Amino acid sequence: MPIEHEYSRVIHHGGRSFFATTTMSDIFIAHARDTAERGDTELVPLLHKGGVELLLIGPLTRVAVSEIEVGTASEKTPIQPAPAHPATPIMTPAARHRVAG
């Protein structure tokens, strides 16, 4: 019998979206943030609904995480699309002020 998982988060990276559990999302974001704060670039694993992906993460990588909300709405209540939020890079304040040269 297959194990059922509750995919409550969507991770957006590189123009793709991945459905993940809360736990897997938290692990991925913690590893990605740690990698970016060190100023490194690494392949960070993400276990998601479709399998496992190695996502390239660096100081300027844009990653967004969305929560999946499930609820009920009456037929009379119009459903409004969620506002688009731009992804923000995972970087430290010090990394924002680096000068190349």
Nearest to 58 by CA among 38, 88, 30, 28: 38
Q: How confident is the prediction for the chain on average, in pLDDT?
A: 81
Low-confidence spans in the chain with pLDDT less than 70: 1-3, 71-101
Q: What is the pLDDT of residues 60-71, one digit of tens each?
A: 999 999 998 776
- Percent of residues, the chain, with pLDDT higher than 90: 59
pTM of the model: 0.67
Which residues fall within 8 angstroms of residue 95, CB to CB, at 6 or more apart?
36, 37, 39, 59
pLDDT score, position 26: 96
pLDDT score, position 5: 79
